[in-house]
C-alpha cells in the first residue's frame, strides 16, 4: 500500500519540550466516558487498569506538535493515542488514533489483524513498519510528530511510520475518517479495558 522503507534514527533533541504530566496528578487532563476507575496515577506513571479506561484528554488543544512519551504494556495490551481529537465521538474517525498494541500477544496472534491495526498505525488508515516494539513489561519510547499534513511515528529510535495524509485518497477511507482533515484538537490516552502505563509525557508545539 503506502509503506516506506525508513532508516533508524535517533529522537530529536529535547529543546523546547515541556511536560504535560506532572507525575503526581491528572492536572491538565479530563476524562470522557470513564470506564471503572478510568486512569490512575501510580509511581510517576499514568496507569490504565484492566477495568478502567476510555478517553483521558489534554485540556489544551494542539495543532502541530511533537509528542514524546514512554509506555509499558502487558501481553495483549490494547490502547491508543488520540491526536487532533474532538472531545466527543469516536477519536479514531473524528480525529486520529495512533495504535498502541501488543500485537504479538496470545490473543492477537490468533486474530487476523490488518497492517492498519498494528502498533504505530494511524488506526484503520495507514500501516507502520513492525518488529520494533519491546517485550511486554519493558518500557518503550515513542514520538508522535504531527506537522501539517505529515504524521511521523518514531518507536525506540526507529521511524516506523511517515505518512503524508494528502496521499490518502480512497473515497471509503475519507468518508469513514473525516478527522484526517482536522487541523487541531486534544491529545488523548484511549484506554480499552486493557493494562498500560505511560510516563515522561512531554510536548513541543511546532510553528
Instruction: Name the architecture of domain 18-205.
Output: Sandwich (2.60)
Q: What is the pLDDT of residue 13?
A: 54
DSSP string, the chain: -------B-PPPP-TT-EES--SS--TTEEEEEEETT--EEETTEEEE-TT-EEEEEESS-BSSEEEEEEEEE-TT-EEEEEEEE-SSS-HHHHSEEEEEE-TTSHHHHSS---GGGSTT-BTTTB----S-PPPTTSEEEEEEEEETTEEEEEETTEEEEEEEGGG---HHHHHH-GGGG---BEEEEEEESS-EEEEEEEEEE--
Q: Does residue 149 contact residue 166 with C-beta atoms inside 8 Å?
A: yes
Alpha carbon separation from 119 to 16, 18, 179 (Å, rounded): 27, 25, 20
Domain ranges of the chain: 18-205
Choose among 187, 201, 205, 144: nearest CA to 23: 201
Q: What is the pLDDT of residue 151?
A: 98
Q: What is the pLDDT of residue 12?
A: 46
Q: What is the pLDDT of residue 14?
A: 76
The total number of residues shown for the chain amounts to 207
Q: What is the pLDDT of residue 108?
A: 76
Sites in the chain below the pLDDT cut of 50? 1-12
- What does the block give as the cell for 207? 510553528
- What does the block give as the cell for 112? 487476523
pLDDT in tens, 183-199: 999 999 999 889 999 99
CA end-to-end distance (rounded Å), the chain: 31
Amino acid at each position: 500500500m503506502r509503506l516506506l522503507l525508513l532508516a533508524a534514527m535517533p529522537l530529536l533533541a529535547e529543546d523546547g519540550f515541556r511536560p504535560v504530566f506532572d507525575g503526581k496528578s491528572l492536572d491538565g487532563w479530563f476524562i470522557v466516558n470513564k470506564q471503572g476507575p478510568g486512569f490512575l496515577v501510580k509511581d510517576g506513571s499514568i496507569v490504565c487498569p484492566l477495568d478502567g479506561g476510555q478517553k483521558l484528554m489534554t485540556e489544551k488543544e494542539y495543532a502541530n506538535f511533537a509528542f514524546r512519551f514512554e509506555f509499558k504494556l502487558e501481553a495483549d495490551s490494547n490502547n491508543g493515542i488520540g491526536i487532533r481529537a474532538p472531545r466527543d465521538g469516536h477519536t479514531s474517525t473524528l480525529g486520529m488514533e495512533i495504535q498502541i498494541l501488543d500485537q504479538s500477544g496470545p490473543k492477537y496472534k490468533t486474530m487476523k489483524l490488518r497492517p492498519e491495526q498494528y502498533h504505530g498505525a494511524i488506526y484503520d488508515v495507514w500501516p507502520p513498519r513492525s518488529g520494533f516494539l519491546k517485550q511486554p513489561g519493558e518500557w518503550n519510547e515513542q514520538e508522535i510528530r504531527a506537522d501539517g499534513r505529515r504524521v511521523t511515528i518514531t518507536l525506540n529510535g526507529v521511524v516506523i511510520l511517515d505518512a503524508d495524509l494528502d496521499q490518502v485518497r480512497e473515497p471509503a477511507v475519507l468518508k469513514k475518517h473525516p478527522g484526517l482533515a482536522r487541523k487541531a484538537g486534544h491529545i488523548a490516552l484511549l484506554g480499552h479495558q486493557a493494562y498500560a502505563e505511560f510516563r515522561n509525557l512531554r510536548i513541543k508545539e511546532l510553528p
